[in-house]
A and B are shown apart, each in its own frame.
Chain A
Amino acid sequence: MYKEKLKQQLGSLLQAKNVALFSSCRNALYTLLLSFDLAKGDEIIVQKFICDSLPNAITAAGGKPVLVEVDEKTFNLDLEEVKKNITDRTKAIIFVHTYGNPSGIVEVKELCKERGLILIEDIAHALGASYGGKKAGSFGDYTVYSFTKQLINFGGGALITNHDVKEIVLLRDSLDQSPGFMTYPKRFMGSLYETRAFSLSKVLVDFVRRKNNLRIANDLDKKFTCSEVEAYLALRQLKSLKSNIRKRSRNFNYLSNFVKTQKIEEKAQSSHNYLSIIASDRQKAESLLKKSSLFLFPWKGSKISDKQVFVPNSPKFNRKKIDSFVKENTNKVETKKNNALAVSLALICTVIISVAQILLKFGSEAFNISLNQIYNYPLVGGMALYFMGAIVLVYAFRQGELSVVYPVTASSFVMVALLSIFFLNEVLVLEKWLSLGLITLGVSIVGLGGEK
């Protein structure tokens, strides 16, 4: 039911007659290539700057992937390089709209027409992008799409075309097996990172990437068909795709004020699925990588791989977030150092914490492990005061040096002793008074030392 609706919607979006749903983009491509009945040595041209899963799918389908360099600016196929690499055995060209950028599609389409080659578009990142008003994905003979790059999903992909798909669908169903155990969780995590980009999701993706340095991660799935759940999730999110792309464009435009980033040709409307920053060399790229925990190095193997970092372009990013990618330490608080103020704040902190300690001592007498401890007012109050003390200490540290502020907090020993005399009726012997005097003297001297 949802599958039918999704097929309709994708078809009408790209003005194509036929849509076949798959378990993933790569499986769609594989099945398509398989239906071409490639002979050994038949070449498929694809860009070098790409996820391994594409060449893998070509090889698996019996073709020979010919990896071609990309344009340094647009990250898409370099027309001159493509021309150099076309041979008698070339069957098809796969045009990847890298990061959602359709720049260069028209030239490649013309080339394909001229040489009688099949044009396959990979719009995994680029649904909603367009070139000269024509949607990305409506140029080629065949178009493959993934549900896990622009949308959050467990998997799913589609083949969209004006050609007949009956044979391909039959082929797909004959290949279908039950999915591997980790397929769905892995895909979901990847998709979460690619669409929402938060630190934790990146950590998970990093982990999976490292674990699967084995090529399994980029291999074909055993399962070939799309499930109703995947179709439903995709359908739901396609509704907000347009507004998400608007937000992503806004992010891209803001970022491009500060740094060199992917070039989008004038006629092209990118869907800006990733934000990228082009650095002059590997070292610069690495220093960018350190600035934000969200950045990753892109696909390896191309000449632009080392000079660039990217971050999935979340619609939730705001200017402040993007500032943090390009500007130095925007979170740093500018304060004038003032040791006298720092010492005073540290003293206030110790007063608060000493009172907290006395309260906790009272509270601990009635302490047991149960919920009614929330009525144990001295305990709760003591903890609240402790927290306040910590906040005040932050301000003290902001103003002054560690070697001044921290020793000053030792005065809490004195305060606690004095408070114990008043509130807990403790009695101090002479040595104790002497030691309190020593601490006070020490603190004063340290405080003075900070002034020097």
Chain B
Amino acid sequence: MNANMAMLLILISSVFGAFSTLLFKMGSEFKMNLSNKKMMGAVFLAGFSFLFYLYALKHAPLTFIYLIASISYIWAVILAKTILKEKINKYKIAGVCLVCMGIIILQI
């Protein structure tokens, strides 16, 4: 397995993670029980995300992993805008960019 493949795995992991977070948010508006399908879906997707992450962890350079992991925050904002129709203002965008930069520098 080469680095590209590992990158792909991490990307898949981050997409799963992002949708897991989205479902978690949607599910949080309902009562917490086993019939809360969104929440159950979130747990399921998080598990998937984690599996891909573990697999990639074996093969990819660590810096790549954190680089892409930090993208999860950008994913969250995109999903919030497109699916949940949340308002995204300058503050949110600037804040998320700073957070991502911080995470990348922290791990390099």
Considering the chains assembled together, what is the distance between the CA atoms of A331 and B4 in angstroms?
44
Contact residue among B28, B102, B105 (Cβ-Cβ distance under 8 Å from A398): B28
Residues of B within 8 A of A449 (CB): 89-92, 94-95
**Complex contact A332–B21 (CB within 8 A):** no
Considering the chains assembled together, what is the distance between the CA atoms of A446 and B77 in angstroms?
11
Nearest chain A residue, comparing its CB with the CB of B73: A407
Rounded to whole Å, the gap between the CB of B97 and the closest CB of chain A is: 7
**Complex contact A331–B30 (CB within 8 A):** yes
**Complex contact A446–B91 (CB within 8 A):** yes
Q: Mark A57-89, 1 if CB is under 8 A from B, else 0.
A: 000000000000000000000000000000000
A448 contacts partner chain B, Cβ-Cβ < 8 Å: yes
Contact residue among A331, A335, A404, A436 (Cβ-Cβ distance under 8 Å from B92): A404
Considering the chains assembled together, what is the distance between the CA atoms of A261 and B26 in angstroms?
33
Contacts of A425-444 to chain B: CB distance below 8 A: 431-432, 434-444
Considering the chains assembled together, what is the distance between the CA atoms of A153 and B84 in angstroms?
47
**Complex contact B106–A403 (CB within 8 A):** no
Contacts of B63-85 to chain A: CB distance below 8 A: 73, 76-77, 79-81, 84
Contact residue among B21, B22, B30, B99 (Cβ-Cβ distance under 8 Å from A329): B30
Contact residue among B90, B92, B94, B106 (Cβ-Cβ distance under 8 Å from A450): B92
B31 contacts partner chain A, Cβ-Cβ < 8 Å: yes
Residues of B within 8 A of A452 (CB): 89, 91
Residues of A within 8 A of B73 (CB): 406-407, 410
A402 contacts partner chain B, Cβ-Cβ < 8 Å: yes
Residues of A within 8 A of B91 (CB): 445-446, 448-449, 452
**Complex contact A439–B92 (CB within 8 A):** no
Contact residue among A332, A437, A439 (Cβ-Cβ distance under 8 Å from B103): A439
Considering the chains assembled together, what is the distance between the CA atoms of A333 and B27 in angstroms?
10
Considering the chains assembled together, what is the distance between the CA atoms of A440 and B81 in angstroms?
23
Residues of A within 8 A of B106 (CB): 413, 417, 432, 435-436, 439
Contact residue among A333, A434, A443 (Cβ-Cβ distance under 8 Å from B29): A333
B54 contacts partner chain A, Cβ-Cβ < 8 Å: no
**Complex contact A442–B98 (CB within 8 A):** yes
Total number of B residues with any Cβ neighbor in A under 8 Å: 39
Residues of B within 8 A of A402 (CB): 21-22, 25, 76, 79-80, 84, 86
Residues of B within 8 A of A405 (CB): 25
Total number of A residues with any Cβ neighbor in B under 8 Å: 41
**Complex contact A435–B102 (CB within 8 A):** yes
Known: A402-B22, A417-B106. A443 touches B77 (CB 8 A): no
A30 contacts partner chain B, Cβ-Cβ < 8 Å: no
**Complex contact B32–A444 (CB within 8 A):** no
Nearest chain B residue, comparing its CB with the CB of A437: B102
A394 contacts partner chain B, Cβ-Cβ < 8 Å: yes
B57 contacts partner chain A, Cβ-Cβ < 8 Å: no
For B91, B95, B97, the residue with the greatest tally of chain A CB atoms inside 10 Å of its CB is B95
Rounded to whole Å, the gap between the CB of B26 and the closest CB of chain A is: 9
B8 contacts partner chain A, Cβ-Cβ < 8 Å: no
**Complex contact A397–B95 (CB within 8 A):** no
B88 contacts partner chain A, Cβ-Cβ < 8 Å: yes
Nearest chain A residue, comparing its CB with the CB of B24: A397
Considering the chains assembled together, what is the distance between the CA atoms of A238 and B102 in angstroms?
70
For B24, B35, B90, B96, the residue with the greatest tally of chain A CB atoms inside 10 Å of its CB is B96
Contacts of A389-424 to chain B: CB distance below 8 A: 393-395, 397-398, 401-407, 410, 413, 417
**Complex contact A406–B76 (CB within 8 A):** yes
Considering the chains assembled together, what is the distance between the CA atoms of A332 and B27 in angstroms?
9
Known: A331-B30, A331-B31, A397-B28. A403 touches B80 (CB 8 A): yes
Q: Mark B32-76, 1 if CB is under 8 A from A, else 0.
A: 110110000000000000000000000000000000000001001
**Complex contact B101–A438 (CB within 8 A):** yes
Known: A407-B92, A446-B95. A398 touches B29 (CB 8 A): yes
Rounded to whole Å, the gap between the CB of A12 and the closest CB of chain B is: 42
Rounded to whole Å, the gap between the CB of A90 and the closest CB of chain B is: 50
Q: Which residues of B contact A (CB under 8 A)?
A: 21-22, 24-25, 28-33, 35-36, 73, 76-77, 79-81, 84, 86, 88-92, 94-106, 108
Known: A403-B80, A406-B21, A449-B89. 12 other contacts (CB 8 A): A394-B32, A403-B86, A403-B88, A406-B73, A407-B73, A413-B103, A432-B106, A437-B102, A441-B102, A442-B101, A449-B91, A449-B92
